[in-house]
């Protein structure tokens, strides 16, 4: 974390606790430079959607149901082949 006062890249965490509503983490930090300035940061989780890269390079959103259906179809074909051989 960069110190907002002196732009030092090295800071230390003094205290860490969840916020009252539980959606973030509050961290008290101190700068390791000679000044020892203290500041607070809030860290929140940022969710990213999963995507699938197709053979042609196009991106498509991940669909769990489509994947499950593909597995089911492949397993059905495999068991049908084993049953009739």
Instruction: Give residue-wise pLDDT tens across range 14-47.
Output: 999 999 888 899 999 999 887 789 999 999 988 8
- Closest among 13, 66, 67, 4 to 35, alpha carbons compared: 4
Q: How far is CA 30 from CA 37, 38, 43, 46, in A?
A: 6, 4, 16, 25
Pairing of the two strands 38-44 and 51-53:
unpaired
Between strands 59-61 and 51-53, the pairing is antiparallel
The length of the chain in residues reads 85
Kindly report whether the global pTM for this prediction surpasses the value 0.85.
Answer: no
């Amino acid at each position: 974390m960069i110190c907002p006062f002196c732009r030092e890249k090295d800071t230390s965490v003094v205290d860490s606790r969840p916020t009252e509503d539980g959606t973030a983490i509050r961290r008290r930090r101190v700068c390791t430079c000679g000044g020892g300035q203290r500041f607070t940061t809030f860290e929140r989780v940022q969710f990213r959607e999963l995507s699938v890269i197709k053979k042609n390079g196009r991106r498509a959103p991940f669909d769990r149901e489509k994947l499950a259906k593909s597995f089911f179809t492949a397993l059905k074909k495999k068991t049908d082949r084993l049953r009739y051989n």
